[in-house]
A and B are shown apart, each in its own frame.
Chain A
């Protein structure tokens, strides 16, 4: 274990896992409360086009995916405001189009395309030093913003009118949430890939909701579960020699299932006691 932690690629993977785990899981609280899971999934999938543009132009795929997905988040926000289409329809169109564009662009490169698999399913063990620096800096900036505006974002997620009455500009904060979420999702793609990244948004908070009795407890437990799942899944994937993104997600699913069963049993016992 000590030897494993001395490997530079594993050190980078652990730092990225810890930073992204807490960031994505914390954002997941607002995503589940505001029912934005489809938005998250859509932006993550469409970000493949951004990464493909980076690969084709020999620019950083991570940076181009970040720019592309943030523009996409702004476009979704604008279309939701200006068109009569439902949010689901807008996201559905952009999500599939973005992913299709990404696949076409990547296929323009000749020969085997290992990057495509990397972006689809993630590869935390292949994170480079400059990617890690970008992940850490952006994650800290986003976390700082969310923590300092936690009450405003929570109120907005709970009820838009109530947020307005509290002096919050709902449109501005909605747009900021979209852009930050898009940015965090792209950072997470390096770890879990476009297909699996939404899992770390949804699974930790959904698990914590099963037994949390306050918002404070929910926040704490969400972070603890996310970090445990990230590190546990990463180590498991290394020892089992299996894809890291998939093993992290399955570790999360196992934790959720155990918590769900424990809660069902506790409810059953409680019901029996009352009867």
Chain B
């Protein structure tokens, strides 16, 4: 038994990379509490992923394998995960702030009568109390929270905790049964955004476009050649997602995805506070905008005041020629 448990996420038997960020957060927490950590995984036919999870240094990997978990639903998975937490006796529960983590983890907290902190960016301990930092007011302020319940639940922001690498060894495994009941929801299907590019939250380079691109076709004509050069993921502002130019899944920001790549290139993006909240943790930021007063320049390491329709093709061809 460890005092910390990670709720790992798998889809079609494959571990979500964000769960490896959560493992790192659990290790950071373990360093503060002096304990170890366990991992829970739920699904149907999850032997392989449970085996793979055994290589990350957890004392025990708890598995909840049930036909009712063949597809993710919040109601069923909350029951599975809370059963695993109870079996482990853990007092800290850590999950990734992915769409599944955000959807399911509060329900787990409710079942455990636990307080929860969402999208945590830093974990500290002061005078025996664990404090969780979170961004609030579009990232204008950072609030430190404490949780008063016996069990403390958190989701963590992937950009703030590195992706754990398997370190070898094998954890003990323990099957937990959850007798899932009362589920009144059914998974129908996923209309997936097909892409050969790296995932937005994992790419080392992100090239993002905003309304300055003028027309949806310019994502392909102007932005994509630059993104191709870097094998970059593509991001976008809310404005162009709302306009239907690009998939919803590409929105970077306070209410979209938070990214922190090595290099973030923003073109035709004004830099509204809600956008900055999703990318200002990037290592190097480049902004290309024709308005010298655009707020994006306040976070850009390198700002180029230019018409993107001239500057971006020039940048792409000169990079290719190097």
Q: Do A and B come from one complex?
A: no
Residues of A whose CB lies within 8 Å of any CB of B are none
- What residues make up the interface of B, taking CB atoms closer than 8 Å to A? none
